[in-house]
């Protein structure tokens, strides 16, 4: 089980780091600069929003995942007050917050100033805390959903975000316990996730994923059908499709997700972060290529965090 926790956080980190290299770039610019789809952790494209980061570094999206994981480890529970404190410390730090949704930062500022937050944030960033929460509550997806919603509501009240946060934490919880045999049970798995969502539009996106998988659609068609932007339903459904297309092949999942830019560019770091977390959780750490693990700048810290989170979750 511990290797599932480590695989989840490493998969998320690698997906984020690989995807940030080409975020928002169309395919022609990627090929012109790299010569092929990106497969290794190297310098971000000069036009990427994360152009100033080093190879193997992570964006603010992955910071959000780690902040919540660290809070769970420190408090040995889901402590909303502690998560708020960690968000504020992160917000006030001198480090640059690399291209996170402005609404996420504005929500933290509102907390700091004692004001009510708005429900404007509809990007996938707001749903990312559900990843470590799904690991912590791996034995009980119902508790995971309630906790994920509570934490995500610190930065948005958007109902699509809450739906996706629920689906992500349930997916992580169930995959960590190997409750589904994929890809044979892809449709059953998605229908299970639908049981934890409420908005018709969310269910519609999940149905589209089912249909694309049934017809063995290619990655380009999935981008056209689902979208690949930062809107929470697009990013999550795209990541879910890519994961379920080849669920046993972590390397392929992360590469396809990081290169999900299409002809016009997309939120490749968030898509690859989620897809990498799902594949890393399902297949474990050992299925992640060593070249990627060695290329992560914070590899040891991420592994240590995963191991400590596992110990907390056990008790």
Q: Give the model's pLDDT for residue 97.
A: 56
Question: What pLDDT tens digit does each residue of the chain (315 aa) get?
Answer: 899 999 999 999 999 999 999 999 999 999 999 999 999 999 999 999 999 999 999 999 999 999 999 999 999 999 999 999 999 899 888 565 555 667 787 788 887 777 777 667 899 999 999 999 999 999 999 999 999 999 999 999 999 999 999 999 999 999 999 999 999 999 999 999 999 999 999 999 999 999 999 999 999 999 999 999 999 999 999 999 999 999 999 999 999 999 999 999 999 999 999 999 999 999 999 999 999 999 999 999 999 999 999 999 998
DSSP secondary structure, 199-261, as one string: -HHHHHHHHHHHHHHHTT--HHHHHHHH--SSBHHHHHHHHHHHHHHSTT-HHHHHHHHHTTT
The confidence score (pLDDT) of residue 109 equals 81
Q: Domain range spanning residue 10?
A: 2-314
**CB contact at 8 A, 272 and 19:** yes
d(CA 236, CA 127): 9
| Model pLDDT, residue 98 | 59
Question: Is there a contact between 71 and 119 (Cβ–Cβ < 8 Å)?
Answer: no
The 3-state DSSP class for residue 6 equals helix
User: Is the CB of residue 73 less than 8 Å from the CB of residue 305?
Assistant: yes
Answer for the pair 278, 243: CB distance below 8 angstroms, yes or no.
yes
pTM confidence score = 0.96
Feature table: binding site for Mg(2+)? 59, 267, 269-270
Residue 283 sits in a domain whose CATH number is 1.10.4080.10
> What is the C-alpha to C-alpha distance for residues 269 and 59, in angstroms, rounded to an integer?
8
Q: In total, how many domains does the chain have?
A: 1
Q: Are 19 and 297 in contact (CB under 8 A)?
A: no
pLDDT at 96: 58
Residue 272 is encoded by which pair of tokens?
Answer: 């690859």
30-56 burial, b at 16+ Cβ within 10 Å, e below that, comes to beebbeeebbebeebbeebbbeebeeb
Residue 235's pLDDT is 98
């Amino acid at each position: 089980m511990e290797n599932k926790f480590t695989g989840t956080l490493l998969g998320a980190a690698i997906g984020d780091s690989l995807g940030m290299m080409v975020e928002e770039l169309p395919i022609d610019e990627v090929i012109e600069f790299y010569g092929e789809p990106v497969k290794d952790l190297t310098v971000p494209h000069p036009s990427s929003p994360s152009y100033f980061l080093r190879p193997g570094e992570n964006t603010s999206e992955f910071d959000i995942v780690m902040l919540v994981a660290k809070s769970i480890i420190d408090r040995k529970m889901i402590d909303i007050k502690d998560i708020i404190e960690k968000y504020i410390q992160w917000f006030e730090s001198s480090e640059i917050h690399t291209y996170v949704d402005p609404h996420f930062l504005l929500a933290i500022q509102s907390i700091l100033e004692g004001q009510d937050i708005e429900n404007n944030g509809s990007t996938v960033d707001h749903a990312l805390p559900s990843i470590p929460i799904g690991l912590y509550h791996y034995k009980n997806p119902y508790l995971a959903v309630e906790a994920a919603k509570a934490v995500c509501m610190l930065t948005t009240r958007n109902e699509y975000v809450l739906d996706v946060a629920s689906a992500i934490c349930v997916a992580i919880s169930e995959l960590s316990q190997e409750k589904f045999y994929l890809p044979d049970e892809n449709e059953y798995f998605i229908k299970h996730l639908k049981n934890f969502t409420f908005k018709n539009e969310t269910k519609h996106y999940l149905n589209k994923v089912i249909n694309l998988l049934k017809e063995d659609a290619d990655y380009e068609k999935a981008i056209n059908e689902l979208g690949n932007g930062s809107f929470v339903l697009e990013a999550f459904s795209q990541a879910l499709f890519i994961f379920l297309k080849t669920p046993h092949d972590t390397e392929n999942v992360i590469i396809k997700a990081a290169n999900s830019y299409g002809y016009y560019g997309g939120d490749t770091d968030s898509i690859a972060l989620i897809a990498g977390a799902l594949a890393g959780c399902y297949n474990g750490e050992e299925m992640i290529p060593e070249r990627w693990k060695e290329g992560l700048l914070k590899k040891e810290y991420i592994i240590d965090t995963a191991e400590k989170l596992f110990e907390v979750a056990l008790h």
